[in-house]
Amino acid sequence: MIIDMEHHFYGADKWLRPGRSDGRIDRGWIWTGDGHAARERGPELRIGDHLDFMDRSGIDVAVLTTNAARNLEQVKTLTEACAKAVKQHPGRFVGFAPVDPLGGRPALEEMERSVKDLGMKGVHISCRPDKKHMDSKEMWPFYEKVSALGVPIDVHVEFGTDLDFLDAPYALRFTMAREYIVCAETLRVCLGGVLEQFPDLVFIVNHLGGGVSAVMERVDVYVNLMGDSFYRGKPPISKPWRQYFDKLYFSMAGREIGMAAVKCALTTISPKKLMFATDWPPNFENNPRGASQYVEAIRRLDLPREDVQDMLGGNAARLLKIQPA
């Protein structure tokens, strides 16, 4: 079974309209007035577009997420559309509810409704909600509620506007900002006491953690070199930080086929914690064959067959309690 752990949907008002388009998204690249590269929004996708991409790329199940919601009304609209799609296409879709973790009681009540009443199997957040960090104490009420609900937290990359060193007359910020930010926020989850305080939380970090595997040895060096001085005051964790890291799951999206990134990730992340993902769209847009080639490249890795099957779908199926068709 192939399970796509990062598969976005937008345009809930048109999502369930009958029929489907020709499968082309055709979004253009633009430079905004503030000098940043961006993507233009293309035509709204319909349910047939998602199913067509999945069928042509060999994906059995897609976990639907969105980072398009900007307020509680949009959250409700998108979540209800997602729940309806899951119900209409059993076995093809799993829904994750978008959540503003700092939205207070109304946001947390809607999150509970999405899980208990609408059947969402996880929640989807930005790695920099309202520009706060993942280890901010303001996130604690959200973590407490999610822990009680017993569903995973899908952590999406964030563009970021405060990284001036990435400003350039080429698309350096667009390419790199998300990765730097989610890498730092992954380390914050491990070093900042989140999993110390909420040991039952399950995190799924997108984009292979922004390439966090490439910097972990450096973190180890300075944790050991600095000793107690590594922290300002009392350390918020009682175990070696890698023990918390080893609890995290990571989606394999964000690099298209990107096997160098996958091989780097495998130096620090167990195959039992990696999960296939496309990030469709924008990755692999108009290119279902590219997604199927990614699957085949994973199958060719020098790993035991069981590990490969787990990365392609087994890990996700167990985590989300998805039964084979």
pLDDT range class, residue 29, cuts 50, 70, 90: confident
Domains in the chain and their CATH numbers? 3-320 (3.20.20.140)
The least confident of 28-32, 159-163, 273-277 is 159-163
Q: What distance in Å separates the CA atoms of residue 134 and residue 150, rounded to the nearest whole number?
A: 18
Residue 44 is given by DSSP the state: P
Q: Is the pTM of this model over 0.85?
A: yes
Tokens representing 255 are: 């690099």
pLDDT of 17 strictly over 70: no
For 133, the token pair is 């960090």
Q: What is the pLDDT of residue 243?
A: 97
pLDDT at residue 11 greater than cutoff 70: no
Q: Is the predicted pLDDT of residue 10 greater than 80, yes or no?
A: no
| Confidence band, pLDDT 50/70/90 cuts, at residue 43 | low
- Token pair, residue 26, equals 């055709």
Give the least confident one: 25-39, 46-60, 71-85, 254-268: 25-39
Q: How far apart are CA 293 and CA 58, in angstroms?
A: 10
Long-range contacts of 100-109 (CB under 8 A, 24+ apart): 100/69, 100/72, 100/75, 100/125, 100/129, 100/130, 101/125, 101/129, 101/139, 101/142, 102/129, 102/130, 102/132, 102/138, 102/139, 102/142, 103/72, 106/72, 107/72, 107/75, 108/141, 108/142, 108/145
User: What burial class does residue 217 get, using C-beta atoms within 10 Å of its C-beta: 0-12 exposed, 13-18 middle, 19+ buried?
Assistant: exposed
User: Mean pLDDT lowest for which of 14-28, 89-103, 267-281?
Assistant: 14-28
DSSP notation for 161-190: S--GGG--SSTHHHHHHHHHHHHHHHHHHH
Query: pLDDT tens across 273-325, in order?
Result: 999 999 988 888 889 999 999 999 999 999 999 999 999 999 999 999 998 76
CA distances from 234 to 193, 211, 230, 238 (A): 11, 29, 10, 10
**pLDDT of 42:** 61
Amino acid identity of residue 69, one-letter, is: A
How confident is the model at residue 19, as a pLDDT?
42
Q: Residue 20 pLDDT > 50, yes or no?
A: no
Quick one: pLDDT at residue 187? 98
Predicted pLDDT of residue 24? 55
CB atoms within 10 A of CB 283: 20
Residue whose C-alpha is closest to residue 49's, from 94, 14, 76, 98? 14
